[in-house]
Amino acid sequence: MKQELIERFIRYAKVNTQSDPNSHTCPSTSGQWELARMLVEELKAIGMEDVTIDDNGYVMATLPANTDKNVPVIGFLAHMDTAPEFTGANVNPQLIDSYDGGDIVLNKEQGIILSPNDFPELAHYKGHTLITTDGTTLLGADDKAGIAEIMTAMNYLIQHPEIKHGKVRVAFTPDEEIGRGPHKFDVAKFGAQFAYTVDGGPLGELEYESFNAAEAKITIKGKNVHPGTAKGKMINSIKIAMEFEQQLPAHEAPEHTEGYEGFYHLLSFQGSVEETKLHYIIRDFDREQFEARKAKMKEIAASLAQKYGNDRITLEINDQYYNMREKIEPVRHIVDIAHEAMTNLGIEPKVKPIRGGTDGSQLSYMGLPTPNLFAGGENFHGRYEYISADNMVKAAEVIVEIIKLFEQKTS
């Protein structure tokens, strides 16, 4: 399994699939088409059935049931794109056999070193086969590791027909990193009752709680007058914007919160006397608190409107996604089965809330409850990203074990 995983992963990593938030197409970039077509061929080559690719680049395939039992159809998903914030062009993965626990020189010329002094988690990987970058790009283990693991798990099941299982659906999706992964995902066509994204971090991660998320855009109109004759006339929109920000609780910000704490995050502040625009994101695990945060913003905007005039302040709030826990709790056994699968394989499950969202947050609200499983990588979205091939094997084994457990638990 290990060699297969390494080969698949490196092949996928070399295709530049960096997504682009400014593109309006789906997938947002043509590299994702390239990888999608490659995956279609590989799915067919290993013997998957109903291999399809739709007009938006979503790849789907079926592993048919080999039992008469009425096992629920389950799905596994991974995303093809890599993060927009760091280059994904010319990824050149480096293989380190039985890592000695010391510094890893990623790039000699540029003096780029992956060191346990900066990344103490490296200690967990002594003796592992690691895959790193060459220091100039990201690696794309997020989420090409997930793709390689799903593909390898399917191949394993096809090669081992003695393992009984129900129907399994797999999907490889575009544009997760720009929040659009599920936008054009056809839940009905996928036809699974439950699914798992294989898109988490280190070994054992199991996630079924995400933020409730909204974004807020505030536009403040000022009135510019020559500063020499501005008395009683000028309205400086920058200062009103500062007043807005100051009325939010200073400690409820990303830099002061962790665990289950929510926040307001001022993403950008662009202003002149005449006009200032504020862009916030609002995050909270608790739905009531989340609503209260949005209400708080409306209150502040209303009080400033009263003070400076109604037409000076506009506030636009849009919900982005919700905590998937609400949708997963009623089908809690899908989390329990993942938990059991890991325990059976000697992996300690690490259940934690995602301080962000995943495709699963949106999919769960589209009628497909979808917790998230570890894919194994570390330091996502940058040059220090790496992954253990040994843990990729474990991720593929977890997929196989979940599939087995669903069959075993069906009478």
Bridge partners (DSSP) of residue 169 are: 62, 75
**271-305: buried (b, 16+ CB within 10 Å) or exposed (e) per residue?**
bebebbebebbbbbbeeeebeebbebbeebbeebb
Per-residue DSSP letter, 18:
B
The nearest distance, CB 137 to Zn ion, in angstroms, is 16
Question: Which lies closer to Zn ion via its Cβ, residue 134 or residue 143?
Answer: 143
Question: Which lies closer to Zn ion via its Cβ, residue 199 or residue 401?
Answer: 199
Instruction: Give CA torsion, residues 78, 84, 88, 89, to 10 deg.
Output: 130
Question: Which lies closer to Zn ion via its Cβ, residue 199 or residue 205?
Answer: 199
390 is annotated as an active-site residue? no
What percentage of the chain's residues is helix, strand, coil (to nearest 5)? 35, 25, 40
Q: Is 79 annotated as a binding residue?
A: yes
Dist CA 301 CA 298 (whole Å): 5
Question: Which lies closer to Zn ion via its Cβ, residue 143 or residue 385?
Answer: 143
The nearest distance, CB 146 to Zn ion, in angstroms, is 7
The nearest distance, CB 197 to Zn ion, in angstroms, is 8
Beta strand 59-63 with 74-79 is unpaired
> Closest Cα to residue 168, out of 66, 252, 92, 247?
66
252 is annotated as an active-site residue? no
> Closest Cα to residue 183, out of 174, 192, 194, 191?
174
Dist CA 153 CA 293 (whole Å): 43
Q: Is 226 annotated as a binding residue?
A: no
Q: Catalytic one among 81, 134, 209, 390?
A: 81
The nearest distance, CB 180 to Zn ion, in angstroms, is 13
**Sites of contact with Zn ion (CB under 5 A):** 142-143, 199
The nearest distance, CB 144 to Zn ion, in angstroms, is 10
Q: Catalytic one among 176, 209, 378, 385?
A: 176
Dist CA 173 CA 188 (whole Å): 15
- How many residues in the chain? 411
Q: Is 199 annotated as a binding residue?
A: yes
Question: Which lies closer to Zn ion via its Cβ, residue 283 or residue 293?
Answer: 283
Q: Is the dihedral of CA 156, 161, 163, 166 positive or negative?
A: positive
Which residues belong to the annotated binding site?
79, 142, 177, 199, 381
Residues known to be catalytic: 81, 176
Which residues belong to the annotated binding site for Zn(2+)?
79, 142, 177, 199, 381
